[in-house]
Amino acid sequence: MIKEEIWTEKYRPETLGEVVGQDDITERLKSYVKSGNLPHLLFSGPAGVGKTASAIAIAKELFGEAWINNFTELNASDERGIDVVRNQIKNFARTAPLGAASFKIIFLDEADALTPDAQNALRRTMERFSATCRFILSCNYSSKIIEPIQSRCSVYRFRPISDGAIEKRIKYIASEEKLKVTEDGLDAIKYVARGDMRRAINALQAAAVLGKKIDAEVIYKIATMARPEEINELIEFALGGDFMGARDKLDVLLIEQGLSGEDVINQIHRAIMDFGGISEKTRVQLLDKIGEIDFRLTEGANERIQLEALIAHFMLAGSKE
Amino acid sequence: MTKVNLLMAYVPMMIEWTEKYRPRTLSDIVGNGKAVAELKKWAEDWGVDKKATILYGPPGIGKTSAAYALANDMGWEVIELNASDQRTAAIIQKIAGSAAQTGTFEGVSGRRLIILDEADNIYGNADRGGVNAIVDVIKKTNQPIVLIANEYYDMSKTLRSLCKPIQFRSIQSRSIIPLLRRICRDEGVDYDIEALEVIVTKASDLRSAINDLQAIAQGRKKLSAEDVVIGIRDTKGSIFKVMTEIFKGSDPREALYASYTLDENPEDFIHWIDENMPREYKGEDLANGFESLSRADVFLGRVRRRQNYGLWKHAGEMMTCGVQAARSQEPHGYTPYQPPSLWKKLGQAKSVRAVRDSIATKIGKHCHVSQRYARAELIPFFKMLFKKKECAIGISATLDLSQNEIAFLLDTKDSGAQKIYDSAQKRIMLAEEHAIETFGGF
Look at residue A255 and tell me if it is in a domain: yes
Question: How do residues A181-223 score in pLDDT, each as one tens digit?
Answer: 999 999 999 999 999 999 999 999 999 999 999 999 999 888 8
Q: What is the pLDDT of residue B83?
A: 60
Q: What is the pLDDT of residue B1?
A: 33
Nearest to A312 among B287, B297, B384 (CB): B287
Nearest to B381 among A78, A113, A202 (CB): A202
Three-state secondary structure readout of B279-309 = HHCCHHHHHHHHHHHHHHHHHHHHHHHHCCH
Which residues, in sequence order, are bridge partners of residue A107?
A73, A136
User: Residue A213 belongs to what domain range?
Assistant: 163-223
Q: Kindly state whether B318 is in contact with chain A, defined as any CB-CB distance less than 8 angstroms.
A: no
Contacts 24+ apart (CB under 8 A), A66-71: A66/A98, A66/A99, A66/A100, A66/A101, A69/A98, A69/A99, A70/A97, A70/A98, A70/A99, A70/A101, A70/A103, A70/A104, A70/A105, A71/A104, A71/A105, A71/A107
Residue A1 has pLDDT above 80, yes or no: no
B384–A206 CB contact, under 8 Å: yes
Confidence of residue A240 (pLDDT cuts 50, 70, 90): very high
CATH code of the domain occupying B172-235: 1.10.8.60
A259–B384 CB contact, under 8 Å: no
Residue where one domain finishes, among candidates A136, A157, A178: A157
Contacts of A223 (CB under 8 A, 6+ apart): A192, A203
A316–B283 CB contact, under 8 Å: yes
- In this prediction, residues A52-72 reach a mean pLDDT of 94
Look at residue A121 and tell me if it is in a domain: yes
Residue where one domain finishes, among candidates A223, A245, A263: A223
Phi, psi angles (nearest 5°) of residue A9? -85, -40
Collect all residues of chain A within an 8 Å Cβ-Cβ radius of residue B346.
255
- Chain CA centroid to CA A126, Å: 24
Please, which residues 358-387 of chain B have a Cβ atom closer than 8 Å to chain A?
360, 364, 366-373, 375-381, 384-385, 387
Measured distance CA(A317)–CA(A287) in Å, rounded: 12
> A171 and A72 in one domain?
no
Q: What is the pLDDT of residue B125?
A: 40
Look at residue A2 and tell me if it is in a domain: no
> A235 and A113 in one domain?
no
A263–B376 CB contact, under 8 Å: yes
CATH architecture of B32-167: 3-Layer(aba) Sandwich (3.40)
**Mean pLDDT across chain A:** 91
- Strands annotated E in chain A: 41-44, 71-75, 104-109, 133-139, 154-157, 180-181, 213-214
Q: Is the pTM of this model over 0.90?
A: no
- CATH number (domain holding residue A147): 3.40.50.300
CA dihedral A147, A148, A154, A155 (to 10 degrees): -20
Ranges of chain B whose pLDDT falls below 70: 1-15, 82-110, 121-130, 219, 229-237, 263, 438-442
> A145 and A17 in one domain?
yes
Measured distance CA(A206)–CA(B364) in Å, rounded: 18
A2–B267 CB contact, under 8 Å: no
> A246 and A117 in one domain?
no
Confidence of residue A177 (pLDDT cuts 50, 70, 90): very high
Contacts of B347 (CB under 8 A, 6+ apart): none
- CATH number (domain holding residue A211): 1.10.8.60
- Of A230-244, A294-308, B108-122, B260-274, give the lowest mean pLDDT range: B108-122
Collect all residues of chain B within an 8 Å Cβ-Cβ radius of residue A140.
none
Listed in sequence order, the DSSP H helices in B141-282 are 157-161, 173-187, 193-202, 206-217, 225-231, 239-248, 252-260, 266-280
In one letter, which amino acid is B376?
A
A to B CB pairs, distance under 8 Å: 157
Measured between CA atoms, the residue of chain A closest to residue B387 is: A209
> A261 and A212 in one domain?
no
Better-scored residue on pLDDT, B226 or A241: A241
Measured between CA atoms, the residue of chain A closest to residue B279 is: A244
Question: How do residues A133-168 score in pLDDT, each as one tens digit?
Answer: 999 999 999 999 999 999 999 999 999 999 999 999
Measured distance CA(A138)–CA(A58) in Å, rounded: 14
Domain definitions of chain B by residue range? 3-14+237-325, 32-167, 172-235, 342-441
CB atoms within 10 A of CB A298: 12
Better-scored residue on pLDDT, A24 or A320: A24
A6–B398 CB contact, under 8 Å: yes
Collect all residues of chain B within an 8 Å Cβ-Cβ radius of residue A241.
283
B contact test, residue of A43, A75, A218, A251 with most B CBs within 10 A? A75
Nearest to B376 among A3, A259, A319 (CB): A259
Split into its structural domains, chain A has a count of: 3
> A206 and A113 in one domain?
no
Q: What is the pLDDT of residue B2?
A: 32
Q: Kindly state whether A255 is in contact with chain B, defined as any CB-CB distance less than 8 angstroms.
A: yes
Nearest to B391 among A47, A209, A313 (CB): A209
Q: What is the pLDDT of residue A309?
A: 97
Collect all residues of chain B within an 8 Å Cβ-Cβ radius of residue A257.
356, 375, 379
Selection from B209, B236, B265, B276 nearest residue B62 by Cα: B209
> A197 and A85 in one domain?
no
- CATH number (domain holding residue A313): 1.20.272.10
Q: What is the pLDDT of residue A222?
A: 87
Measured distance CA(B269)–CA(B318) in Å, rounded: 12
Measured between CA atoms, the residue of chain B closest to residue A240 is: B283
Residue A291 has pLDDT above 70, yes or no: yes
Collect all residues of chain B within an 8 Å Cβ-Cβ radius of residue A267.
376
Look at residue A1 and tell me if it is in a domain: no
Please, which residues 166-195 of chain A have a Cβ atom closer than 8 Å to chain B?
none
In one letter, which amino acid is A157?
R
B293–A309 CB contact, under 8 Å: yes
A309–B291 CB contact, under 8 Å: yes
A206–B385 CB contact, under 8 Å: yes
Q: Kindly state whether B354 is in contact with chain A, defined as any CB-CB distance less than 8 angstroms.
A: no
Collect all residues of chain B within an 8 Å Cβ-Cβ radius of residue A311.
290
CA distance to B28, B109, B165, per residue, from B24 (Å)? 7, 21, 23
B294–A77 CB contact, under 8 Å: no
